Amino acid sequence: MMRTRPLKVALLGCGVVGSEVARIMTTHADDLAARIGAPVELAGVAVRRPDKVREGIDPALVTTDATALVKRGDLDIVVEVIGGIEPARALITTAFEHGASVVSANKALLAQDGAALHAAAEEHGRDLYYEAAVAGAIPLIRPLRESLAGDKVNRVLGIVNGTTNFILDKMDTTGAGYQEALDEATALGYAEADPTADVEGFDAAAKAAILAGIAFHTRVRLDDVHREGMTEVTAADFASAKEMGCTIKLLAICERAGDGASVTARVHPAMIPLSHPLASVRGAYNAVFVESDAAGQLMFYGPGAGGAPTASAVLGDLVAVGRNRISGATGPGESAYAALPVSPMGEVVTRYHISLDVADKPGVLAQVATVFAEHGVSIDTVRQQGKDGEASLVVVTHRASDAALGGTVETLRKLDTVRGVASIMRVEGE
């Protein structure tokens, strides 16, 4: 039987995502009511610019006083889509204090203060859901913390930023340089006027922190995630990747150590084999590859950003939280019982592709190989090309620690026969 008293929902933010949430709540009102078991009423919308025309939203619901809105005391759910750290953090905790559960799409805040927000939700007996914070419309948070709750997740490897994937895909398929591909992404609306958060990996790092925390039942903060941007990736890197049967993606990688005693979380460009499922992810799409003991290998794929896709994830959380409100229950909260240490990047073990500019004369290859051996880094393949006294030397290693590789490169730079290190890239997905 459907409850007649509606669930009251406040919306914080009415931009690209917020306006889509409001639209779907209105156009799909009957379906949402049937799925939840009660009507859903939009009780207020907090915005910065109240004079802007918002189609389908009663102007009487619009306010610039977000704090007063979440303090009303009669709200069931607060949907936060304003982003950033403050005032979002204060508004969410205030909502809990005044009896509302929260649905958020705020990856930066959750990566930085997720533990405190979960604690506040638990203290007040309320829900905190955030499916939209990681991969837009792609169901990922709920499968990790519910569907795979009985399994042991060992690795999460993914493309979690559509802007960077679009740029790298253009460089790969058309031979465009980084700036040319970025300009196209900006013209098409995939990249912001200031793309720093995307291309320097900040966005992906926040998502990696959230994914690692859920997958490994361990608190992982944004500061724990090693981050490298993709602005230095060149057409020459893609040429080298193709020679190895690979392409290049900006990856978020979260994994357990081999002995299970620690975890790592990192974001950086990497070569991946064309045979890997992530290699075929094109354009602005996202995909996440999950490896677990019992389920094996799973892949989640779809649009990772945009108003409608992100709103889809928000509304999915809204339905789940609404059902909990009606039944008097709460969904799963933070699971951090494992409390595994997060290892530094220096301990991460992977393969490397190193391109060196060297003197084209006898003995150089032997000299370089000796340096690798002295640092305990085993070489898999070497390719050398040169003329007129200059040469390019490409070395692909077996698996080695980041610290060992760093020491190797530092020593190589001191050799008279090494003119420079053209590029260093990790090789993943094997």
Mind telling me the catalytic residues? 207
SS3 at position 338: coil
- Phi and psi dihedrals of 68, rounded to 5? -65, -35
Q: What tokens does 241 get? A: 């990747």
Cα separation, 407 vs 54, in Å, equals 57
What angle is formed at CA 386 by the lines to CA 174 and CA 242, rounded to 5 degrees? 30
One DSSP character per residue, 14-83 reads -SHHHHHHHHHHHHTHHHHHHHHTS-EEEEEEE-S-TTS--TTS-GGGEES-HHHHHTSS--SEEEE-S-
Q: 């339905």: which residue's tokens?
A: 319
Burial 19-53 (b: 16+ CB within 10 A, else e): bbbbbbbeeeeeebbebbbbbbbbbbbbbeeeeee
Cα separation, 309 vs 131, in Å, equals 11
User: Do 54 and 62 contact (CB within 8 A), yes or no?
Assistant: yes
Q: Is the peptide bond before 39 cis (omega within 30 degrees of 0)?
A: no
Cβ neighbors of 383 (< 8 A, separation 6 or more) are: 243, 393, 394
Residue 398: other Cβ atoms inside 10 A: 12
Cα separation, 102 vs 164, in Å, equals 30
Q: What is the H or E stretch that residue 274 is in?
A: none
Q: What tokens does 113 get? A: 């203060």
